[in-house]
Amino acid sequence: MDIDNLAINTIRIISAEAIQRAKSGHPGLPMGSAPMAYTLWSRHLKQNPNNSKWEDRDRFVLSAGHGSMLLYSLLNIFGYKDVTMDEIKNFRQFGSKTPGHPEYGHTDGIETTTGPLGQGICNAVGMAIAETYLANKFNKPNYNIIDHYTYAIAGDGCLMEGVSGEASSLAGTLGLGKLIVLYDSNNISIEGNTDIAFRENVALRYEAYGWQVLHVEDGTNVAKIDAAIKEAKADKNRPSIIVVKNIIGYGCPAKQGKSAAHGEPLGEENLKAAKEALNWNYEPFTIPEEVKAFAEEFKLKAQNEEDKWNRMFEEYKKEYPDLAKEWAVWFSDKMSVDLLKNEDFWKFEKPMATRQSSGIIINRLAKLVPNLIGGSADLAPSNKTHMDDRGDFSAEDRSGSNMHFGVREHAMAAIANGMYLHGGLKVFVATFFVFSDYMKGAMRLSAIMKLPIVYVLTHDSIGVGEDGPTHEPIEQLAALRSIPNMTVFRPADSNETAAAWYSALSSKKGPTALVLTRQTLPLYENSDKNALKGGYILKDSKNKENPDVILMASGSEVELIFNAAKELEKENIDARVVSVPSFEIFEEQSEEYKASVLPKKVRARVAVEAASPFGWHKYVGLDGEIVAMESFGASGKAEVLFKEFGFTVENVVKKAKKVLQNL
């Protein structure tokens, strides 16, 4: 048996053995896709197992993340130290380096968390965008320090998901010639043959997207797979998809080509039969010595490749020292400027909508943070996210920092994940807040991976007005606040908006959702950097130790409680006004600080927010009142809607009195 076939069968059997031992998993993809994955890794993928973070490595994404044992087998064979044979034996077990789906940051060599189908191919589009943008920035004659490909393996399920179509359409429009997708076309999904739900001609669809489409009719033919990848790499102007006809569960006589191979162990008897069919005569979990020797030779070549790049980069630093210094900042977590001490960043002079103040901040940041890149789902004029004098990224101009994602919210968020994961960029994306529903899957993955993506979400309440209930977010604040690692920041004025942006760009925890108004808001004297604590006293009571009532709100409703406090004062009711722009950040503060803002002994509390009341109960307690939305909104002028739904000073005053009377 030649080394190629031996290595391919090693991947197949090790994968099947690990899944059988775990008594769960997906053997079909690893066994069917092993030849194309091995061909890519052994003959094309530029990587270094000794340094998985090398900036100029090729990126590999297993979009069909359920086939994770394919990736773990590759990582083990090619020498990534995290994935030992003991870890493979521990597949899918708590605490192992080989969880059920690949997890970024958990296992060395994994570029992104995949599993929800379609997300990985979108991440790959983002990585390819980042490669192209950074190459334009840093490459110089004789110094292609950014020059690599992004590869993804996707299956039928990935290409059924609409989000992959959104991202692929954009990739074709942008002419991402260094993006290559290997399509595991085996015509099988969980429920059976794909004919039951997926009869389209994928190749013609991708041609329509503007991709180069290549075909390999025999997925076991290494030479033809190799030739197809070479042909894909040769086209610098179009992304490529290689349609590889594979047989799911290849090598297992009873299950190959059947849906039964997809998502369950082969079974001991079928595993034994697969070993016989593949002429495999080794002890369980054995890597043949010939494969080990091949892998050691591969590692030496891989290290030499990076060493060659490192020597080039040393010369680059001498010839282009300023660019080299920028490189160091771009590829670190550092900010190029201390925003906390930058007075201009925090300076505002008049009331305005927080979407407008955010737009001003974005343009201030554009001058201070050179690797800031982002855009909107065809809403930049409304979201106020266009960066002046920074150009538009396109197939014709790779230098632009303004991304145009089109009306593709879900793909936009998933692509942003890939752009950040590539390294070198600080990324933001934007849409109307209500359409965060479309982005939820990708936003959740941002949070799982703890990626500091900035989500600019405007038109944040019934203040949207005439567009009506379809465009008026009600439940979205509660939904985003419920996501672990997600920080939601709903500022009450321009100063708090600056704090929100500072917090987002400084985050080490994960993504931040900036929830912003369409309507004009006041500019408060006491807001400023205090908002960085998530909740603070905007206007204190006369009795600082024991106010009669605490009024709290976020965003536009802070104006209501601010004015309600003045009315209550006329009736000798001593009210404290608390702005709570971020639950998550407030909860991170010390118990002493939180008690200083919301003293436990003060049970008279009213919370106001033009959204679902869900979440506020922990701050108002059993005795408090919440003025919130208990239904969807309606179409009408914003001022009319606020009145109709109870968001008036009079109603807040009424609720405060009611709380006091009931104590």
Per-residue pLDDT reduced to its tens digit, 520-537: 999 999 898 999 999 999
Q: Is the pLDDT of residue 118 over 70?
A: yes
Give the model's pLDDT for residue 57.
Answer: 98
Q: Is the pLDDT of residue 13 over 90?
A: yes
The reply to whether 334 falls in a domain is no
Same domain, 580 and 503: no
Segment 78-92 shows an average pLDDT of 97
Least confident of 25-29, 352-356, 432-436, 524-528: 524-528
Give the model's pLDDT for residue 45.
Answer: 98
Give the model's pLDDT for residue 290.
Answer: 97
Asked if 551 and 564 count as a contact pair (C-beta separation under 8 A), the reply is yes
315 pLDDT band, cuts 50/70/90, is: very high
CA distance 451 to 352: 30
333 pLDDT band, cuts 50/70/90, is: confident
Give the domain CATH number at 377: 3.40.50.970
The reply to whether 272 falls in a domain is yes
Give the model's pLDDT for residue 269.
Answer: 98
Give the domain CATH number at 602: 3.40.50.920
What single letter denotes the amino acid at residue 152?
A
- The 372-376 sheet, strands edge to edge: 402-404, 372-376, 426-432, 454-458, 512-515, 487-489
Which member of 55, 111, 166, 409 is catalytic?
409
Mind listing the pLDDT tens digit for each residue in 16-50? 999 999 999 999 999 999 999 999 999 999 999 99
Same domain, 554 and 511: no
Same domain, 454 and 410: yes
1 pLDDT band, cuts 50/70/90, is: low
Query: What percentage of the chain has pLDDT greater than the value 70?
Result: 100
Same domain, 46 and 185: yes
Same domain, 509 and 560: no
Segment 616-622 shows an average pLDDT of 97
493 pLDDT band, cuts 50/70/90, is: very high
Same domain, 461 and 391: yes
Same domain, 264 and 233: yes
Beta bridge partners of 65: none
Which residues contact residue 510 at a Cβ distance below 8 angstroms, ignoring those fewer than 6 apart? 446, 447, 449, 450, 451, 452, 485, 486, 487
Determine whether 472 is an active site residue: no
pTM above 0.75, yes or no: yes
The reply to whether 525 falls in a domain is no
What is the extent of the structural domain holding 156? 3-60+116-301
The reply to whether 527 falls in a domain is no
Same domain, 496 and 560: no
Same domain, 485 and 587: no
If one counts the domains in the chain, the total is 3
Same domain, 293 and 347: no
* The Cα angle at residue 202 between residues 201 and 204, in degrees rounded to 5: 70
- State the sign of the Cα–Cα–Cα–Cα dihedral 109, 111, 115, 120: negative
Domain stop point among 484, 515, 546: 515
Give the model's pLDDT for residue 336.
Answer: 80
Segment 310-332 shows an average pLDDT of 97
Rounded mean pLDDT of the chain? 97
Give the model's pLDDT for residue 334.
Answer: 81
CA distance 587 to 594: 8
CA distance 382 to 359: 10
Give the model's pLDDT for residue 3.
Answer: 96
Please report how the helices 436-448 and 119-138 are oriented relative to each other, as an axis angle in degrees rounded to 10. Answer: 80
Same domain, 415 and 539: no
CA distance 351 to 358: 13
